[in-house]
Amino acid sequence: VPRTRRPVEPVVMADDAVSEDGTPLDPFPPRRPRAPPKRPLRLLPRGYGWLVRMAPDLVPYGIELAHFLAQPDMMELLASSPRLCRALSPLCRMFGLTPPTPSAVDAPDPPPRRGPSPARLAARRRRLSDAAAAREFGPQGYRPSTFDR
């Protein structure tokens, strides 16, 4: 037996609407907190070479891709554009190939690191290591005298 639903009519509250205990009804009741959203299902595997394991008939295409990426012109292009390497790496991982990396030779040098300031160098020279302090002041270290003499 199919159930029929009646259209929901909007609830109109009078301005002087009160609850059973005599307090005025809130026209905007507080919302119930929502449960956190569920994690999405992983529809595709993420392992190394998963596409070839799932569909072995795609192996020739992976071999063709590896041959294409090994061409000198393509290697030169990959070395000049790191974005292309990042775009191709998921496809290479799906086929079980080593993803291309931009060559380290052509990468720009990182900016030089700043050395310590001259004031810090002077303070470092003034400080003594534990071993130097033990040599200079004895094993107990430097202790100022408690007497005037």
Is the pLDDT at 66 greater than 70? The verdict is: yes
Is the pLDDT at 147 greater than 50? The verdict is: yes
Please say whether the beta carbons of 65 and 91 come within 8 A.
yes
Is the pLDDT at 144 greater than 60? The verdict is: no
Q: Which of 84, 114, 110, 115 is nearest to 99 (CA)?
A: 84
SS3 18: strand
pTM of the model: 0.43
Cα 72 to Cα 78: distance, rounded to the nearest angstrom: 10
Structure confidence at residue 92 as a pLDDT band (50, 70, 90)? very high
